[in-house]
Amino acid sequence: MENMKVSMSRILDTEYSLKRKLVSRNSKNCYISTSLSSCNTSRKDGLFVCKSSSLTESYQVLLSHIDEVIMNNACFYELGFHKYPDAFQPKGLKYILDIEQEPHIAFTYAVGNIVLKKELILAPDKAELLCKYTLLESCNEIDLVLKPFLAFRNVYSLTNAASKQFEVEYHNNKLRISQSKDYPEMFFNFSKKIIFTEASDWYYNFEYIDDKEKGTECKEDLFLPGQIIVNLKENESFVISVGLEKIENYENYKNNYQQNVRQIDLMQDLKF
């Protein structure tokens, strides 16, 4: 997809937005794939899909998607958009204001006087995804609730809740997820202090319309390890690093990565 402005009428037209893909890849066998609507329409879609080792022939969908909820003055607004057998839930498609493909995938959401931008960036030289949220406009502070949904499967299969058990560990503002010896551990690091509420819950029957149209199995269960809550002020950014490597010295990581992103001109203002 070229980096062009998409009209609001096109975005809200589900027949149009569900059929058009946003895709990004890096040199380390990782990719992002979702639809223009942000709804995954195929079992091969996901925010963090990679080959974890040279011994693995197929790609693995580790992080399927992240749902965002804006909380402001006792009101909450769900930005997610998913297909279930009988409905789309939540109704976050209506909040999308703008979509970009270059230099990286980005969604801008508008909720009343609140404007939030989400940028999805694959590290150029490692198996790592950066999700950057920036509160562009707001009359007051907001709480941003993030719900990461996990699959941990290869791109040819689908996850069933009865067949998976996850281990979740949160310590010192870091989150570690493991599933079995067949899959790598996944680590979440955060650019500022968060509140993490462990849930260890399952959401059932996500439906992939591309697979359904092909007549193949199309329903999947996804695991929610918990909710991430962060407070944001206007013009403030927050970054989640999702990767396969444990970060021991975070200051060295931060400084080195800031140099890398400046060289490739992806994020001049990455702040950890």
Tokens, residue 108: 């801008």
As separate numbers, helices (DSSP H) first and strands (DSSP E) second, the chain gives: 4, 18
Domain extent at residue 46: 8-165+190-239
The pLDDT mean for the chain works out to: 88
Q: Into how many domains does the chain fold?
A: 1
Report the distance separating Cα 163 and Cα 161, nearest Å: 5
* Domain-located, residue 211: yes
Q: 91 in a domain, yes or no?
A: yes
Distance CA 18, CA 122 (A): 23
How is residue 132 annotated by DSSP? Answer: E
Under the banding of pLDDT at 50, 70 and 90, the label for residue 252 is low
Please state, in angstroms and rounded to a whole number, the distance separating the CA atoms of residues 91 and 107.
Answer: 15
Tokens 């490739």 belong to which residue?
Answer: 264
pLDDT tens digits for range 153-171: 999 999 999 888 999 999 9
Give 64-97 pLDDT, tens digit per residue. Answer: 999 999 999 889 999 999 999 999 999 999 999 9
What is the rounded average pLDDT of the residues 162-182?
89
CA 163 and chain centroid, separation = 23
| Per-residue CA distances from 208 to 22, 120, 136, 220 (Å) | 16, 22, 32, 8
Q: How many CA atoms lie within 13 A of 128 on its CB side?
A: 18
Residue in 173, 191, 171 with CA at minimum distance from that of residue 258:
191
Residue 244 pLDDT more than 60? yes
Spatial contact of 190 and 176, defined as CB atoms under 8 Å apart: no
Per the listing, tokens 């011994």 go with 55
Is 145 a member of any domain? yes
Is 141 among the domain residues?
A: yes
Per-residue pLDDT tens over the stretch 13-64 = 999 999 999 999 998 899 999 999 999 999 999 999 998 765 467 899 999 9
Reported as a single tens digit per residue, the pLDDT across 96-119 is 999 998 889 999 999 999 999 999
